[in-house]
Structure formats: structure tokens, C-alpha cells
């Protein structure tokens, strides 16, 4: 009797209006999740000890057996310990002799056998010591624990609280919860759930649901997970109380008699294979705080889950409609990575829990406790500093960014975006038709507002059938895209993973025929509800399915698409409106017969991967040479560790509120230090209507975040940059233009991230870890190491408080802020300093350039990144005065390639231009690929998939053109006095000659105003070595 929602178009607006806040009763907590409820506060747990006779070493890997005391049915475990050359310790624990090994993903980590260090094993009666150049691991036999020690100091402890558990169906009865009586006298998983309405004795018939008064026929479901009726009303959940079957704990039991089923929200999970949870504690003595655990709408510095929160941080990718702030509940993505900061030592240490099943993490004091529903224990301890390969001792003094970068060597680096993706994106649910698209495009043109991408949401399709167009609204999609392309713009369309069950829909009929869909527990194609109504879901864990999906993006398959069409993957948690917690049931099956509970958090990862690979295949197919395939752009909502390899992410359905503007920074900082560099939040907020001030402030702030998109719900008022009229249009235009002027720096930072793994958007402690005042800062951040950003995020603000860290000096980048005038050479702000600075609505976001840096910009206002491609550069030199030796220095780097294709990866068609100032001379060097500048490590780059060119590559003309771009202006801050002469020395032969080379020398014109030196039209090529010398009047000492 159910009908597709889209058969009732008038109903859609009603449905959207009645569902406007998160219904927390739809989502489980620890107390309604068996494995968390039983194990989080268990009073008695088995403890494990090492079988001393099992301790062995082979090829540098240490292996050992673990046996449990106090539970005869607990499995014997096998553990291995590896010291990886990158400066990471790996601990794996699996069940010994398991008939069927537990499922693990085989393609998330970059390698299954990372290069390891040689270890020396020394044993005693009570333990053992594992020594390598990375440090010392002390192993205690009984009870089992590990301690990593460097120079006598313990940095990390594993299982020091004896919380290791490895649950099986046989051993489940051994675990006793905190009340001493176990799970209400049972091991059963069924928990009591309550909902607002009163229970009725009789259930509604199939195809019906309760509206609070009576059972009505269901016409569809909505994103809040509730049924909808033809009159526009929604389902009212009824109270239920379901008791678990009794079982006395602590005794052996007949496996067949145990019932581990769980019921929640009207859905029952049979758990036919029994419980299989795992858990472990990790402690960081001396920790000043923890960070990471993306994604949650919480503060950047993690809060205690025993005091500040009553719930652990949860990882279970979900479509949370209008999520609340300051809550550790699960959101769209999962990266189970945490960092511990020790400010006294100025370093960070990481722990990565490689497990894609549902996971809870307790944070308390100096420790973390991990609990996962299934899988194995695969723990990576990311040690401070650089790697320890080749016998080198672990460098504990390396900056935190070096440590943060190591995660990329485990799961992959952020892919280098095409330059257009770093511009401004304009989106709305939905631009109505081709005329609407044309009007929006035309207004950007007429008002001289830069933008690069226009987006279409689900309404562009034929009845939510992806890879199609609504013929009435978008009759000429290819021509529409070409009109954008003429001005250098691109288009993005949404493609979600739910496939409308319609035999006349080619995508569905072919997928059904080939058997590509996820199965339900009865081995039939899973049927769930999403935007199209009744839908099937492709099994993206299967390489065969991913290959098929990738081929859908070929131009001959995606009719109406062009090479300038890119893709947005939404609803890929996956979102199932009528499923438990608005997602797929855990007992659904992959094509290999693996339960969904094992790979739930990977669904979005594999979906965006398949999409990205499809666009890459399309680009390679139409490339002039195999190594010039266009880089794809894919935006995903759901993700797991390593999703950064496939595109960008945004923080989901936020709201047009000031507190949502404020939470954007800590959420993006968390994503950044968890490896996802290309991240952003919808500027202006998705739900609701911002006023002009909030919208302008959000655009100003978002202009300094990695992914920059304006987006709005279909119920929201139109809010393009001109929607509020003047003076707001000019203010927003200026903010977007400011973003475009910094694109050379942004692009170079993304290249640095691709080559090294370093984050793009950074917390201040990443550069200044010894400054205690940076520990809790989350309302200001660094773009790379050299640009400090502090937006105004409060209504009515005209100033902001900016903290400048200890042992640093900064110059304001905007003329509206003249600074305090303190510091050497005119540096406006010298840390440590808390300063009040102007934050006018008529000026860009307050930003500050670090003294000691040289940053590239392009100042000419253009309509798009394509129009800027051959524009000259401005180099901004901010000099650092060293108080010890009075040296004045600065340095910076610019990355050069074609900005569009994989030639940088597949043909080494790239260059790094490095500029330094020392001894009154500006020196410019060029490192052509595969050569790298000193700040990059070739071994790391190769580990990240670079410096391995295809055969038959040759000179890239696009790179040659980029090398010929010139510098039209040099701005120099920090000189004590104006020079008497400035001379450019072209040096085609390379090197750093200290002698002028005949007629290659040319005097440059300059002016000196307010201690700022401006050198106009040096016309020095960025792709050629040169020097600029400064002569000064001699002063008497």
C-alpha cells in the first residue's frame, strides 16, 4: 500500500516544516547498546597474562600469546608488536586458532606490511624489553601491559588499567557489569526504550503507522526516520519495554540457549553470530589534553566523558537531522584517531584504533578507553617527531606537524585538489531550472563576484533517479554546463547511493540483473526508504561493484554530463529513513556474506572512492596522454580514515545560528588533524535564515577554511552573495575576493600536504606546542604555518581578541589594522600577547602573517580560478629579526604544476620554487620534479604514491607555462630602514651566486611608506633562479 513520497509533491514542504530538530530518542547511547553497556563499567573482567614460552621474534616482529585469568572460556589471543620505520608502534591482537578469522578491511591502510625497524628482545622472569632506534617497549607478563619509554620517560602505556577484552559467544558470560549482577541478570542485548506517546495494545497493520490517535497508511518516510501520512502529519512513536532473557552471569552456559538479540526503536537485531566486541585502554602520562576523534560537534579539546559528558564519544556513521552542539553523539563520519598533547615537552603522541565497526571512546584524565562491537585489535601508536628509519634515533624535538603528518603514511594523504575546487562554491537545495542557473551565473558576472562552481541538488533529477535530468526543468544540461565553462566555471551534481527501485530505471535494472545490491538477512535485495522512496543500496565494499559504479560516470553512460561536471556524494552513511537509527540494519549482508555491522563505517568511504575513481577514469579516457588525466572533485558527507584520498568533506546539515558558526572552527580543526585536510562547513548555515550580519561574518570566516561553499535548505530564503543588498554585497564580494588572492598559498599548502601529510588548517599548538595558552584555543587557527586567522563570530562585534603565541611575531595583512607598532622592524604583534584588533564588517577577516615567512598571492580580481591562471604573483616578505645574532631571515615556497591533472603524480610534472631572505639578499631557487626541496623527504613522498612516473612521459607544456609566470610586486615588512638600491640578478644557470652576472643585473624601482617596502614590476620569473640584493646606508656602530 505504500507509495513513493515524490508522488505527493505538495507534501514535501509540509514534511520539511514538521521535522526541524534532532530526535535523540532515535539514536542509541551506551546504555542502549549491549557491548558498551556491559563492558564500559564492568566490575569484574578477565585479565590477560603473557605466556612467557610463546614470546618469539622473527624478522624484527615480536609475537606472544595471551591467556585470560578468571574466565576459562575466554579465547587464547595472539599478539604481534612491530616498530615501523616511520616512528609508529603497531600492536595487533587476534584470536588464536580461530576457525573463521574475523573480518578486516584489506584496502584502507596503505600497506599490510609496513617497513619495520630491527628490534632487540631482552627477557626476564617478569617481562621483556624490546629495543629499537624508535625507543624502548617494556612488556610486563602478568598482568599484560606495554609501556613505551624514551630516555627513561614513559610516553604511552597500553592496558595499564587492565581493560583489554576480546569477547566471543563462548566468553560472553564472563563479563559482569558495574552493579555486580550483569546485564539485568542477563547477557541479552535487548534494552528498554521509551518514546513520548502511550502504548497501544494492538500493533498497526503492515504498511501503517501510529499518528498519536490511530493507525494510518504510510505514504513515505523522511530524514528524521519517521513515517509520513497523506495529510502531512508524521508518525508518533509508542512506548515499548522489551526485557532480555535471563541468564546468570559468571557461569558456563550452553551456547544455543543464549539470546544476544537487541531491540531498539522498533527494530530487532538478532546478532546471530553472538557478541564479538573488543576493547583496550591507552594511557599517556603527562598529557595536557586530547584532540581528534572526528567527527563530533564538540569542542576542539576533547572533554571528559565521565564528568563533562556522561556518554562516550561514539563512532557510528549516521544521518543526524539538525544535530545538536556540544554532544559526543555520533555524526556522519568516523576517524578513530586521537592525539595527546604534552605542552611541557612540546610534543604530541597519537593513537589510531583501526576498526570500522561501531565504537565508543571514553576520555578521562590522561587515558582513553576504546570499545568496538566487532573486529580485531589493530592499534597504532604514533610517536612524537620524525621517523627512525635507517637506525636514526627518534627525533622527539621535531615539531608536532611532523608527528601529525605520519598518519597519512598509514592511510594516505589528502589528494591534491584541482585549483577550481579551492575557489568559492555556490549551492542550494535546489536551483529550480536552467533559467535559475543562468540568472545566478549572470548575477555573479554582473556584480564581479568570483566563483568557480555552481551546484545542483536532488531536484535536478528525473524523480530522484541519479544520472538523469528532469527534462522539463533541465532540458539541455550539456549546454547549461558549457555556458558555465565559457567563464571558467564548473558544475557539481548530487549522486547518492540509494537507487530507486524502478524496473524502467536503467541503473536499477542493470544493478539488479548483475546482483550488485546489499542483501537483507533473508538474502533478498535490501529495500529501504530514502529520497526516491523504495530504494536498493549497492554493495560498495565489493571491488566489482565499485568498478561498475565508476563506469557509470563515462560520458556515454551519464547522458547530459560533460568533463566539467563533478560530483557530490550525500546520504552515504548510508541514510535509510525507515531503518534503525535512520540507517541500514546491522544484519544486512555484503556480497561476500559479511554482516553490515562489520563495515558500516566504511560505506561512505567506499562510495566516495568509487565515485572518485569513476571521475578519474573519465578524465584519463579523454586525456591527450595517459598521465594528463583530470583530477576529480568529489564531496562526501560520510567518511572513514583515508577518505581524504578521494575528495573533500563538509560538516553536514548545520544551522544558520551564531553558535553553529562558532562550532565550525573546532570541527574543521579536528578533521584537519585527523588527516582530512580538505574540509569545510556550509557558509551561512543549511537550516534556517541568517540575517545579513551572520551571513557576511560566516562568508568572511569560511574564506579562510579549506573548502568554501555557501549552501541552503529549500525552505530557507535565497541567500546568494547579493541577496541582502548593499552594503552587504560589497562586504561579501570583498571576503570572497580575499580568498582568491590567497589561492597560490592555499594551493601550495595542499601540495605540501600531498607530499608530506601535514595539515593545511592547523591549531596554534601544532606550531607552538610549548605555549600553554594555545592548548584550548579553538576560535583562531593557522592556515599553514604562516597565516594566523581570527574571525568575528559574535553578533555586533567590531573587534576581536587575538592571541599571538610566545616566541613569534606577526604582521597584519590588511591595511585596516595598523597594529601596535611594537616589535623589531615594524612587526605589529610580538608574542606572547593578547591583543584587541579591529574586525570591521567592511574589512576581511583579521589575518596576520608570521615574521620569517614569504607568502605568494595573486591580487588581480578575476571571475574564476581559470581566469587567474597566468596572472603574475605578489610575494609578501615578512622578515624575522633574530635577537641573538641580529640576523634578518624569511623563507617560503610556491608549488607549480598545471593545477588540473595528475601529471604532477604520474609524470613528475611539478616544481617547487623556494625563496629565502638572508644577509640582505632574496634568493629564489627552483626544484623541478622529481627533485624536492630540503623541507620534503623523497622517501615519504614515495610512500604517499609520488615520484613514480609512468613510462613515456615528457615535458609538460602546462608546467612550462607556469614556470614562465612572473612576480609583479614584492612587499617587504620588517626592514629597519629603506634600502638605497635594489638589484635583480637573473641566474639561468641556477645556484646561489653571490656575484652579479654582467648584464643580467637590473636595478628595480621601489617605495618606502610606513616601514613597508614595495618593489614594483621586478618581473622575475617564478620558474627561474634569481637573486635580489638590497644595499643600505652604512651606519656607525
Biggest CA pair distance of the chain? 100
Rounded mean pLDDT of 359-363? 98
768 in Cβ contact with 814 (< 8 Å): no
Residue 275: which of 176, 180, 377, 188 has the closest Cα? Answer: 188
- What pLDDT score does 42 carry? 84
pLDDT at residue 910 in the model: 98
Does the annotation mark 496 as catalytic? no
Give the position of cell 532480555. Answer: 244
Active-site hit among 573, 587, 758, 897? 573
pLDDT band for position 21 (cuts 50, 70, 90): low
Kindly report the average pLDDT of the chain as a whole number.
90
CA distance 453 to 344: 45
What is residue 241's predicted lDDT score, i.e. its pLDDT?
47
- Nearest CA to 891 out of 741, 755, 784 is that of 784
Residue 195, pLDDT > 50, answer no
- Please count the residues of the chain: 1037
Cα distances (Å, whole numbers) of residue 35 to 103, 178, 709: 18, 13, 39
Predicted local distance difference test score (pLDDT) of residue 110: 96
DSSP state of 204: P
* pLDDT at 918 > cutoff 90: yes
- pLDDT score of 820 more than 60: no
Say which DSSP state 186 is in: B
Confidence (pLDDT) at 317: 98
pLDDT band for position 939 (50/70/90)?
very high
pLDDT computed for residue 230 by the predictor: 83
600-633 residue pLDDT tens: 999 999 999 999 999 999 999 999 999 999 999 9
Burial of 939 (0-12, 13-18, 19+ CB in 10 A): middle
Looking up cell 623589531 gives 824
C-alpha Rg value of the chain to the nearest Å: 29
Angle at 509 between CA 504 and CA 515, to 5 degrees: 165
pLDDT at 387: 61
Active-site annotation holder among 570, 682, 758, 956: 570
- Against a cut of 0.85, is the pTM above it? yes
Identify the active-site residue in 653, 720, 908, 925.
653
Nearest to 103 by CA among 353, 336, 379, 375: 375
* pLDDT tops 90 at residue 452: yes
Mean pLDDT of the 476-484 span: 98
Q: Known catalytic residue: 653?
A: yes
pLDDT at 594 over 50: yes
Nearest-angstrom CA–CA distance, 393 and 395: 6
The CA distance from 234 to 226, in Å, is 6
Say whether 23 is catalytic: no
Residue-by-residue DSSP string for 407-436: HHHHH-PPPPPPGGGGSEEE--TT--SHHH
Residue 1037: predicted pLDDT: 52
Check whether 4 has a pLDDT greater than 80: no
Amino acid 192: pLDDT: 40
Cα–Cα distance, 208 to 204 (Å, whole number): 6
The percentage of the chain sitting over the pLDDT mark of 70, rounded to a whole number, equals 89
Q: Are the beta carbons of 802 and 834 closer than 8 angstroms?
A: yes
* pLDDT for the residue 176: 61
Q: Which residues contact 304 (CB under 8 A, 6 or more apart)?
A: 363, 364, 365
Amino acid at each position: 500500500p505504500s507509495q513513493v513520497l515524490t508522488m505527493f509533491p505538495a507534501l514535501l514542504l509540509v514534511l520539511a516544516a514538521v521535522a526541524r530538530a534532532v530526535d535523540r530518542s532515535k539514536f542509541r547511547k551506551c546504555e542502549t547498546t549491549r557491548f558498551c553497556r556491559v563492558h564500559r563499567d564492568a566490575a569484574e573482567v578477565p585479565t590477560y597474562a603473557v605466556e612467557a614460552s610463546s614470546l618469539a621474534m622473527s624478522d624484527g616482529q615480536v609475537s606472544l600469546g595471551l591467556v585470560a585469568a578468571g574466565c576459562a572460556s575466554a579465547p587464547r589471543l595472539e599478539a604481534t608488536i612491530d616498530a615501523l620505520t616511520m616512528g609508529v608502534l603497531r600492536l595487533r591482537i587476534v584470536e588464536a586458532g580461530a576457525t573463521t578469522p574475523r573480518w578486516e578491511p584489506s584496502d584502507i591502510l596503505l600497506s599490510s606490511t609496513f617497513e619495520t625497524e630491527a628490534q632487540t628482545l631482552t627477557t626476564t622472569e617478569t617481562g621483556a624489553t624490546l629495543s629499537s632506534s624508535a625507543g624502548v617497549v617494556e612488556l610486563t607478563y602478568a598482568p599484560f601491559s606495554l609501556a613505551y619509554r624514551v630516555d627513561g620517560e614513559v610516553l604511552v602505556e597500553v592496558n595499564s588499567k587492565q581493560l583489554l577484552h576480546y569477547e566471543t559467544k563462548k566468553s560472553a558470560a564472563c563479563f559482569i557489569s558495574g552493579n555486580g549482577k550483569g546485564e539485568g541478570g542477563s547477557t541479552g542485548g535487548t534494552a528498554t526504550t521509551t518514546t513520548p506517546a502511550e502504548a497501544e495494545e494492538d500493533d498497526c497493520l503492515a504498511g501503517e503507522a501510529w499518528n498519536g490517535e490511530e493507525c494510518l497508511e504510510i505514504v513515505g518516510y523522511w530524514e528524521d526516520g519517521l513515517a509520513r501520512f497523506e495529510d502531512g502529519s508524521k508518525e508518533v512513536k509508542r512506548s515499548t519495554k522489551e526485557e532480555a532473557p535471563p541468564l546468570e552471569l559468571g557461569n558456563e552456559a550452553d551456547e544455543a540457549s543464549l539470546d544476544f538479540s537487541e531491540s531498539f526503536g522498533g527494530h530487532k537485531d538478532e546478532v546471530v553470530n553472538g557478541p564479538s566486541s573488543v576493547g583496550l585502554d591507552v594511557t599517556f602520562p603527562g598529557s595536557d589534553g586530547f584532540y581528534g576523534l572526528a567527527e563530533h560537534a564538540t569542542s576542539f579539546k576533547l572533554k571528559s566523558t565521565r564528568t563533562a559528558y556522561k556518554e562516550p564519544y561514539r563512532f557510528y556513521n549516521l544521518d543526524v537531522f539538525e544535530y545538536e552542539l556540544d554532544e559526543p553523539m555520533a555524526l556522519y563520519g568516523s576517524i578513530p584517531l586521537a592525539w595527546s598533547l604534552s605542552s611541557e615537552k612540546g610534543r604530541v603522541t597519537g593513537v589510531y584504533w583501526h576498526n570500522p565497526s561501531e565504537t565508543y571512546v571514553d576520555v578521562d584524565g590522561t587515558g582513553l578507553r576504546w570499545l568496538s562491537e566487532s573486529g580485531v585489535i589493530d592499534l597504532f601508536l604514533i610517536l612524537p617527531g620524525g621517523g627512525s628509519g635507517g637506525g636514526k634515533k627518534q627525533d622527539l624535538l621535531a615539531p608536532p606537524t611532523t608527528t601529525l603528518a605520519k598518519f597519512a603514511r598509514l592511510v594516505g594523504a589528502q589528494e591534491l585538489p584541482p585549483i577550481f575546487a579551492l575557489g568559492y562554491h555556490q549551492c542550494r537545495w535546489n536551483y529550480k531550472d536552467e533559467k535559475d542557473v543562468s540568472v545566478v551565473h549572470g548575477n555573479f558576472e554582473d556584480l564581479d563576484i568570483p566563483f568557480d562552481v555552481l551546484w545542483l541538488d536532488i531536484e535536478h533529477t528525473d524523480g530522484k533517479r541519479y544520472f538523469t535530468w528532469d527534462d522539463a526543468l533541465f532540458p539541455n544540461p550539456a549546454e547549461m554546463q558549457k555556458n558555465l565553462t565559457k567563464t571558467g566555471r564548473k558544475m557539481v551534481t548530487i549522486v547518492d547511493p540509494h537507487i530507486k527501485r524502478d524496473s524502467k530505471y536503467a541503473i536499477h535494472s542493470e544493478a539488479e540483473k548483475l546482483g550488485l545490491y546489499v542483501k537483507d538477512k533473508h538474502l533478498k535485495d535490501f529495500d529501504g526508504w530514502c529520497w526516491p522512496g523504495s530504494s536498493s543500496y549497492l554493495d560498495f565494499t565489493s571491488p566489482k561493484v565499485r568498478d561498475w559504479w565508476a563506469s557509470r560516470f563515462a560520458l556515454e553512460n551519464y547522458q547530459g554530463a560533460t568533463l566539467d561536471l563533478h560530483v557530490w556524494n550525500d546520504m552515504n552513511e548510508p541514510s535509510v529513513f525507515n531503518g534503525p537509527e535512520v540507517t541500514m540494519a546491522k544484519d544486512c549482508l555484503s556480497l561476500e556474506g559479511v554482516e553490515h555491522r562489520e563495515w558500516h563505517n566504511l560505506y561512505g568511504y567506499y562510495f566516495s572512492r568509487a565515485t572518485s575513481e569513476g571521475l578519474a577514469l573519465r578524465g584519463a579516457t579523454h586525456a591527450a596522454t595517459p598521465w594528463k588525466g583530470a583530477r576529480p572533485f568529489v564531496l562526501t558527507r560520510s567518511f572513514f580514515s583515508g577518505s581524504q584520498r578521494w575528495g573533500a568533506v563538509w560538516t553536514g546539515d548545520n544551522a544558520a545560528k551564531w553558535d553553529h558558526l562558532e562550532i565550525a572552527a573546532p570541527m574543521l580543526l579536528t578533521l584537519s588533524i585527523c588527516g582530512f585536510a580538505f574540509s569545510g562547513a556550509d557558509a551561512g548555515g543549511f537550516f534556517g535564515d541568517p540575517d545579513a550580519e551572520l551571513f557576511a561574518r560566516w562568508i568572511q570566516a569560511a574564506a579562510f577554511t579549506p573548502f568554501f561553499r555557501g549552501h541552503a535548505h529549500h525552505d530557507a530564503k535565497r541567500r546568494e552573495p547579493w541577496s541582502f543588498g548593499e552594503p552587504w554585497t560589497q562586504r561579501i564580494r570583498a571576503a570572497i575576493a580575499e580568498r582568491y588572492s590567497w589561492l597560490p598559498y592555499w594551493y601550495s599548502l595542499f601540495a605540501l600536504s600531498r607530499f608530506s601529510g601535514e595539515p593545511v588548517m592547523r591549531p596554534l599548538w601544532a606550531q607552538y606546542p610549548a605555549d600553554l595558552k594555545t592548548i584550548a584555543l579553538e576560535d583562531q587557527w593557522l592556515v599553514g604555518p604562516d597565516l594566523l586567522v581570527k574571525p568575528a563570530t559574535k553578533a555586533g562585534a567590531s573587534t576581536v581578541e587575538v592571541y599571538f603565541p610566545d616566541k613569534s611575531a606577526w604582521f597584519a595583512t590588511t591595511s585596516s589594522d595598523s597594529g601596535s607598532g611594537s616589535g623589531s622592524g615594524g612587526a605589529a604583534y610580538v608574542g606572547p600577547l593578547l591583543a584587541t584588533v579591529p574586525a570591521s564588517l567592511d574589512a576581511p577577516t583579521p589575518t596576520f602573517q608570521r615574521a620569517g615567512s614569504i607568502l605568494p598571492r595573486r591580487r588581480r580580481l578575476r571571475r574564476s580560478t581559470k581566469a587567474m591562471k597566468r596572472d603574475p604573483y605578489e610575494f609578501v616578505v615578512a622578515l624575522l629579526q633574530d635577537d641573538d645574532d641580529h640576523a634578518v631571515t624569511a623563507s617560503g615556497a610556491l608549488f607549480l604544476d598545471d593545477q588540473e591533472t595528475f601529471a604532477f603524480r604520474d609524470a613528475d610534472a611539478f616544481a617547487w620554487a623556494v625563496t629565502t631572505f638572508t644577509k640582505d639578499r632574496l634568493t629564489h631557487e627552483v626544484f623541478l620534479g622529481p627533485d624536492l626541496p630540503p623541507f620534503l623527504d623523497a622517501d615519504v613522498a614515495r610512500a604517499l604514491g609520488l615520484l613514480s612516473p609512468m613510462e613515456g612521459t615528457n615535458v609538460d607544456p602546462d608546467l612550462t607555462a607556469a614556470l614562465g609566470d612572473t612576480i609583479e610586486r614584492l612587499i617587504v615588512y620588517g626592514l629597519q630602514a629603506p634600502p638605497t638600491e635594489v638589484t635583480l640578478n637573473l641566474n639561468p644557470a641556477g645556484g646561489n651566486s653571490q656575484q652579479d652576472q654582467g648584464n643580467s643585473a637590473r636595478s628595480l624601482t621601489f617605495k618606502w611608506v610606513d616601514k613597508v617596502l614595495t618593489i614594483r614590476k621586478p618581473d622575475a620569473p617564478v620558474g627561474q633562479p634569481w637573486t635580489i640584493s638590497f644595499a643600505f646606508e652604512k651606519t656607525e656602530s
